[in-house]
A and B are shown apart, each in its own frame.
Chain A
Amino acid sequence: NAGVTQTPKFQVLKTGQSMTLQCAQDMNHEYMSWYRQDPGMGLRLIHYSVGAGITDQGEVPNGYNVSRSTTEDFPLRLLSAAPSQTSVYFCASRGLASYNEQFFGPGTRLTVL
């Protein structure tokens, strides 16, 4: 199993550009989520999904869109990048029960100029 994979590993954008961060998992997990990690703030939940076709907002959803058309994939879209979105982004997945371990991808380091 590859686990949770993310692409790209690094990305530099200019303000106003759009892009999609890709996330895929091969563990048949229902629950998938996106976090951003900023120094001194831990990880903050952006969006999450409990199954194909079902998504919801987390703590910091503004400026980001998601969709879940398959169990495996959960892309994160930045429609118009802003410098405040410079961060490290992590995708994670787990089985649906709350006590399950979340498996994290390796992260995408995004810089918005």
Chain B
Amino acid sequence: AQSVTQLGSHVSVSEGALVLLRCNYSSSVPPYLFWYVQYPNQGLQLLLKYTTGATLVKGINGFEAEFKKSETSFHLTKPSAHMSDAAEYFCAVSLMTTDSWGKLQFGAGTQVVVTP
């Protein structure tokens, strides 16, 4: 079974500062990894995903994440926070096995607040 841990349920960053959201996973087989963003009163939207190949993945809105197998991590970063980045962010993992049907396991989420 896989699991996902997001460190920090709330993160406050200043506008223009680095955004760093941490995600660690456990999985017995190679995983697919995703970051989703949820704006208030909306559904989730994909930011980026890692499947295979390059371990540094670029997504929308200037976000990127690096898959580190040795650390079982998939941390999300953005060099310079914007007010519009205020949202809740979810890390998720699915397995590369046909019998799992790619069911997503989500972390608990990290609420990002951006201060002027």
Contacts and interface: CB of A to CB of B under 8 A. Distances in A.
A90 B49 contact: no
Given A90-B44, A106-B42, A42 B109 contact: yes
B46 A101 contact: yes
A45 B94 CA distance: 12
A48 B43 contact: no
Contacts of B97: 98
Interface in B64-116: 90, 94-97, 100-104, 106-109
Nearest to B107: A42
Chain B contact-residue range equals: 20 to 34
Given A42-B90, A42-B109, A99 B44 contact: no
Contacts of A58: 103
Nearest to A43: B106
A90 B43 CA distance: 7
Chain A contact-residue range equals: 20 to 34
A58 to B, nearest CB: 7
Contacts of A100: 102
B43 A50 contact: no
B51 interface: yes
Given A99-B49, A105-B43, A106-B42, A42 B95 contact: no
Given A43-B90, A99-B102, A107 B43 contact: yes
A102 B46 contact: yes
Contacts of A44: 106
Interface of B: 4, 9, 32, 34, 36, 41-46, 49, 51, 90, 94-97, 100-104, 106-109
Interface of A: 4, 31, 33, 35, 40-45, 48, 50, 56, 58, 90, 92, 94, 96-102, 104-107
27 contacts: A31-B101, A31-B102, A33-B103, A35-B106, A40-B9, A42-B4, A42-B90, A42-B106, A42-B108, A44-B106, A48-B101, A48-B103, A90-B44, A92-B43, A92-B44, A94-B102, A97-B102, A98-B97, A99-B51, A99-B102, A100-B102, A101-B46, A102-B44, A104-B43, A104-B45, A107-B41, A107-B42
